[in-house]
Amino acid sequence: MVVIMQIGATPEQVAQVEQAIERAGFRAFLNPGVERKVLAVLGVVDAQKATYSDRFARLPGVERVALISEPYKLASRETRAKKTVVQVGGVQIGSDTLAIIAGPCSVETREQTLNTARAVKEAGANLLRGGAYKPRTSPYAFQGLGPKGLEILDEAKRETGLPVVTEVLDPHDIPAVAKHADMIQIGARNMQNFRLLQRVGKTGLPVLLKRGPGSRIRDLLMAAEYIMLEGNSHIVLCERGISTFEDSTRYTTDVNAIPVLQRMTHLPVILDPSHSTGDWRYVGPVALAGIAAGADGIMVEVHPEPEQALSDGPQSLRPNDFAQLMRQIRKVARAVGRKVPA
């Protein structure tokens, strides 16, 4: 941490900052600057102590405080250099083999879900996604089948053998979801629902944590940190598009986030091109982009009849389109030294 003084700061103000630094348990080191004074804050700046930056920033004569290290610790690659591999059912996310998570946005009926599960399994997916509890922007939209949806997912899993990823919205539903899911999804809108993060963390189940559309990469890692502090590091991060001024797609896929996250954290990173584009016509190219950029997998929405879907029809692939995409994924994966589930 470095405290930068205003150009006209008085010696008394500098002294006051020095004292505040020392009182907080650090050593203050005054850099012999010419234009303005800069104080380095020395000592182990652990995560707790990093919160002192706000206090120093508010002292008289201080222009601003610059942080030297990132504020997340457990999620940082500087803390743990070795890549984490998250085990979900028999699937290892973060390994050489890509995670291909596919399935309907919402579980709507038994038939729709089973048909989709069979089709994505056949095409090469190794995990099944499907929502029983749906966070919808509009309260008038389909909100999911709830417990009935979880049972349908169970059946799909028994039949296909695919481990199931499903979202939870309400701490109240965690026990029910935890009984059925192999991996719990925290949706983008709940990325900073800190109590939900903590409670899902406590289940010990693998967590798929999606980035909020208005959240920085740093904030995503801080959200992961909430889960990790519960003793659960079975976390897969998911880029799913951010809010920008570009309106030809629903969100902007932040493809930079893939190599940035691979460098910043040891946690596996996947891409959800269905949400990040919001348009089935762009899902394929963007899925391939994610894999080429080094993602550990993708998550794609598939529906047997997208024009009848109760949610996310416009961004859902038909089973045939998904099978075709899988053939392309196979080639691109090989080109970047990754494998696709057999």
Query: Which of 50, 162 has the CB closer to a copy of itself?
Result: 50
Residue 70 neighbours by CB under 8 Å, 6+ apart: 76, 78, 218, 221, 264
> Scanning residues 217 to 236, which ones bind a copy of itself (CB under 8 A)?
217-219, 222, 225-226, 229
Q: Could you say whether residue 320 binds a copy of itself (CB under 8 A)?
A: no
CA angle (317, 320, 325) in 5-degree steps: 70
| 255 makes contact with a copy of itself (CB under 8 A) | yes
Using CB under 8 A as the binding rule, whether residue 15 contacts a copy of itself is answered as no
Q: Is 292 in the site for a copy of itself (CB under 8 A)?
A: yes
Among 99, 127, 177, 289, binds a copy of itself (CB under 8 A): 289
User: Looking up tokens 């038909």, which residue turns up?
Assistant: 318
Q: Taking CB under 8 A as the rule, does residue 190 contact a copy of itself?
A: yes
> How many other CB atoms sit within 10 Å of the CB of residue 339?
12
**Residue 285: strand, helix, or coil:** helix
Q: How far is CA 129 from CA 59, 63, 258, in A?
A: 50, 49, 21
DSSP 83-132: PP-EEETTEEETSSBPEEEEE-SB---HHHHHHHHHHHHHHT-SEEE-BS
In 10 A of CB 256, how many CB atoms?
11
| CB closer to a copy of itself, 17 vs 164 | 17
Least distance (Å) between residue 139 CB and a copy of itself: 5
Contact set for a copy of itself, span 58-97 (CB under 8 A): 58-59, 66, 68-69, 71, 78
Minimum CB separation of residue 2 from a copy of itself in Å reads 6
Based on the shown chain and the rule CB under 8 A, indicate whether residue 276 belongs to the binding site for a copy of itself.
Answer: yes
- Residues 34-63 as x/- pattern, contact with a copy of itself by CB under 8 A: xxx-x-x-xxxxxxx-xx--xxxxxx----
Residue 69 to residue 50: CA distance in whole angstroms: 9
Residue 268 binds a copy of itself, judged by CB under 8 A = no
- Selected range binding a copy of itself among 92-100, 133-141, 151-159, 174-182, rule: CB under 8 A: 133-141
Residue whose structure tokens are 């002192």: 52
